Structure 1
Amino acid sequence: MNNVPMTVSGEAALRAELERLKKVDRPRITQAIAEAREHGDLKENAEYHAAREQQSFTEGRIMEIEGKLSVAQVIDVTALPKTGKVIFGTTIDLINIETDATVTYRIVGDDEADVKNNLISISSPIARALIGKEEGDVVVVRAPGGDVEYEIDQVHHL
């Protein structure tokens, strides 16, 4: 399986979620199942079925996170030389050439992407257009609404 790029903060967030699932949620769900079993007939016991469904979801999420962490390639952009080039993990200030509006994005792994917080996936069209470019370059992003031209104002290695 291929390595999956991930930022240091993305890995920390996944590890924290895994810790919570294993040490808080799993024991709570196990306790809820035990209490529901004490109520008798399991066929018509809604509490039991809800707890089992929650257990199934939690165990699935634990397996998913462990799988992602096992193939994660954690990239600490602060440890890399500052070249001014757009790479995974950098934060980029862009100027829309047509509207003169500015926007800031950080390129992160697929699991960390959150457009509302300006975190874009490495596999997104805008990130693919930006990778390898430098400050001052103009890039054309192919968007569903048409092509958009951006000038790279600044590249931050935060």
Structure 2
Amino acid sequence: MARLPKSTQEIAEVIGRERALFLVGQLPRSYSYDKGRRVTHLYVPATLKPAHYLVQLLGWMDAMKLVSHFGGEILYPATCEEIARGFRDQNIRRLSAEGMSAVEIAEWFGMSDRQVRNILREIPPEAKEVKCIQPTLIKTTAGAA
């Protein structure tokens, strides 16, 4: 399991890893010209109303956990795009192995079928691990003909 960046780990400690990744994945992205990358930000209100965005995304209980821990703060969680991309690609491979076509998978993930085929052609990270194979020793006996 990939480690979360510290900014996202703080959220995960409050609402759990999967919920934190879901939340970060739903936040709008903006481009930071001074940092040269895409960033997210999230304002956690000091008090919560039932129609608030966090309640709609996470439900009342998890939203309240965030409010009680981060209420009144602006959070800048990492986008976790690498983690999300790996999870997405893993699911694309699984759905393909289960018989879904590239077109169906593309519709499901909101991408082109060409991109799905490119992902399916890639070697999965877990298969890229280098495995050492020890050579076998061949014993020869002197004088054997």
Q: Shared topology, TM-score over 0.5?
A: no
TM-score by length of 1: 0.20
TM-score by length of 2: 0.22
Larger fraction in strand: 1
**Bigger RCO of structures 1 and 2 (CA < 8 A, at least 6 apart):** 1
Larger radius of gyration: 2
Larger fraction in helix: 2
